Amino acid sequence: MPNDTSFPSSSSGLAAAAAPRPRRTGPLAGPVPILTAAVLWGTTGTASSLAPAGAPAAAVGAAGLVLGGLLLFLTAPGARTLPRTCTGGERRLLALGVLAVAGYPLTFYPAVARTGVAAATVIALGGAPVLAGLLGLLTGRSRPTGRWAAATTAAVLGCAVLVLGPELTGDGAPVDVPGVLLAGLAGLSYAGYALVGGELIARGHRSDTVMGVLFGGAALLVLPVVLWNAGSWLPSVRGALVVVYLGAVTTFLCYRLFGHGLRRTAAQIATTLTLAEPAVAAVLGVASLGERLPAASWCGLGVLALGIVLLAVPVPSRFRGRVG
């Protein structure tokens, strides 16, 4: 197991720390699985809004986590033994990661209910890369590169224009402060478990095993929320379909893809790549929920896309020294 516990600052650093470098390099070894997961994650807000009337938003998200987390745990090789084989410091990381994973649905889905799909997703995911970079700096586990800083600045700026566009043009409702705070907490939770997952993978643990333990543990933590708020919505066909989609697709499948991508993509870059999620969420909000986006918001989407492309497209080797 590698002794270097620092967070790599390039997209290929995790592979060097976690396992022998595979022959395949380029987008398919990291960015593409993460971007695919981000596109599917962009459907979560819309899917949760289709739950039966009266279903508590936190309970809907928690139910999806329970199903998806248990699937991840049961299908991950070595998940049952990982806590016993970890060092004391790694077990503490696992505990922090479990808490961060559990915190995400309990804050994100209520934020969606209060602020709308596009706004909650943009705030949560827009803040995540910044928080991930700051957490990495504070813990001394990363040195964000110039390329990451430029891409993240563009992406966060695009997110801000996207969510504030209606107000800037006079078409928006007043900002829901509790909803914004909940979305910010969701972003902190996401950044936290992305960093924990990346750190454990960098120490030589399998990505699917790490994700299985983090999400399986979080599923147990939020299970009481589901049982207390199950009511009549969960046994209904509509409620069950929403939970199955959130659990099997946007949790189980997406985090298998995300964990695979983290093997060759630093967490700071991964969180910026997942800013594709707000773009998908905004488009779905317009197409299926009747949400309106002014021209300013569409311009924000364009800037957001620019930041994502800056990280997703591999840099030719002759230019790597210039872009950091």
Give residue limits of the domains in the chain: 37-314
Considering the chain, what is the average pLDDT of its residues?
Answer: 76
Q: For position 12, what pLDDT does the model report?
A: 28
Q: What percent of the chain lies above the pLDDT cut of 90?
A: 22
pLDDT in tens, 284-320: 766 666 656 677 777 877 777 777 677 656 555 554 4
pLDDT in tens, 151-181: 778 877 877 776 677 666 666 555 677 887 8
Q: For position 1, what pLDDT does the model report?
A: 31
pLDDT in tens, 184-226: 888 888 888 888 888 888 888 888 899 899 999 999 999 999 9
Q: For position 4, what pLDDT does the model report?
A: 28
Cα 95 to Cα 109: distance, rounded to the nearest angstrom: 23
pTM for this predicted structure? 0.72
Q: For position 3, what pLDDT does the model report?
A: 29
pLDDT in tens, 117-153: 767 777 777 666 666 666 666 666 666 677 777 777 8
Q: For position 6, what pLDDT does the model report?
A: 25
Least confident among 28-42, 85-99, 245-259: 28-42
Q: How sure is the predictor about 23, in pLDDT bands with cuts at 50, 70 and 90?
A: very low
Whether 88 shows a pLDDT value over 60: the answer reads yes
pLDDT in tens, 229-244: 887 898 899 999 999 9
Q: For position 95, what pLDDT does the model report?
A: 94
Mean pLDDT of 63-91: 91
Q: What percent of the chain lies above the pLDDT cut of 70?
A: 71
Whether 268 shows a pLDDT value over 50: the answer reads yes
Instruction: Give 21 or 268, the one with higher predicted confidence.
Output: 268
Q: How sure is the predictor about 11, in pLDDT bands with cuts at 50, 70 and 90?
A: very low
Instruction: Give 90 or 269, the one with higher predicted confidence.
Output: 90
